[in-house]
Structure 1
Amino acid sequence: MQITFFVFVTLTTVCYATKVLQCPGGNIANLQNNVQIGECDSPPCKLKKNSHVPLTVKFVAEDEYKDLKLVVTADVAGVVLPFVGVDGSSPCEYIFEEDETTKVNNCRIEKGKTYVYKNPIEILQIYPRIKTIVHWSIIDASSANRKIVTCFEVPAAITN
């Protein structure tokens, strides 16, 4: 009985992920199993105004990085707008080693290692009530072409 319960809990934990889309031109391995947005498992994800929605993203670094920035936008009637307070900020204080408890030291990301970004997203009261596509990525701001470290898109609905 205890083994059955353990297997069920393990499978539930492993399988619980939000169905997200690859960013245009993206090809991030196993993306579908590595993003969790609150309790959303199937888009559109409901993002309630004046709340914090937990976000967890697991990724494997394809290179070494040290100057990371978030690029978080929403497509509003064909116009790409930044998520105020999130877009352009540093993700470094929210990046952990694979164990999800050890914070990354000085934002040094090593090639081939697995990392976990964990941070509740603040959904501001000023955001309009709309359905949108949210683009969320971590980029290497030090590279000339702002190389994407990890990226996903997800249909979302900002609600009251």
Structure 2
Amino acid sequence: MNALKVLVVFGTLSTINAINTFKDCGSVTGHINSITVTPCPSEPCALIRGTNVSVEIDFTANEHSGKVTTSVHGIIAGIPVPFMSTDSCTAGNVQCPLATQTHSIYTNYIPVLTIYPEISLLVKWELKDEHDRDLVCFVMPATILDPSHQAIG
């Protein structure tokens, strides 16, 4: 009976591995349709050191943009700490140029390095257009954890 319980729990956890809630923090030239962060079964997202967390943003561009830049910050005690900034078009995260009313899927991942401290923070993820305006902007609560401290279930 215990083995059956373990199988049910693991089966449930493997199908519920992405959270689709977010807080829009000022999308100006685009509209967020959905966001999937995997694995993230609940908030705050547990970012386990030594793993990768994938991010998929389904969005619609309200204006043409020939360039899209990714900007990611960790907000710790109200202070934004730069984490990543890349040209999303050349990195292959999104297909450019974006035409007005274009539906797009952006994909990327966050490497959670083992040197990161265990800490609670907000992750601010922005896609900026060619004029440095927020095409998409969202914030999600997260906690960086050592693998030995992650909660099960």
TM bucket, shorter chain = 0.7 to 0.9
Write the distance in 2 (CA, Å) between the matches of 1:115 and 1:66: 14
Q: Following superposition, which runs of at least 4 residues in structure 1 exceed 2 angstroms of deviation?
A: 25-29
- The letter of the residue matching 1:111 is T
Write the distance in 1 (CA, Å) between the matches of 2:52 and 2:133: 28
TM-score (norm 2): 0.74
Q: How does 1:138-153 map to 2 (within 5 A)?
A: 138-140=127-129, 142-143=130-131, 146-153=132-139
The gaps in structure 1 that reach 5 residues or longer are: 1-12, 96-103
Q: How does 1:24-43 map to 2 (within 5 A)?
A: 25-26=26-27, 29=31, 31=32, 34-43=34-43
Q: CA deviation at 1:40?
A: 1.7
Which residue of 140, 145, 148 maps to 1:154? 140
TM-score (norm 1): 0.71
- The letter of the residue matching 2:35 is V
Q: CA deviation at 1:17?
A: 4.3
Write the distance in 2 (CA, Å) between the matches of 1:43 and 1:22: 15
Q: Match for residue 65 of structure 1?
A: 65
- Structure number with bigger Rg: 2
Give the CA RMSD over aligned residues.
2.1
Q: Match for residue 108 of structure 1?
A: 97
The gaps in structure 2 that reach 5 residues or longer are: 1-14, 147-153
Write the distance in 1 (CA, Å) between the matches of 2:48 and 2:123: 14
Q: CA deviation at 1:126?
A: 2.4
Greater share of strand: 2
Q: How does 1:75-114 map to 2 (within 5 A)?
A: 75-83=75-83, 87-92=84-89, 93-95=92-94, 104=95, 107-114=96-103
Write the distance in 1 (CA, Å) between the matches of 2:111 and 2:53: 7
Cα contact 1:18–1:35 (8 A) shared by 2: yes
Percent identical? 28
Q: CA deviation at 1:124?
A: 1.8
Aligned residues: 127
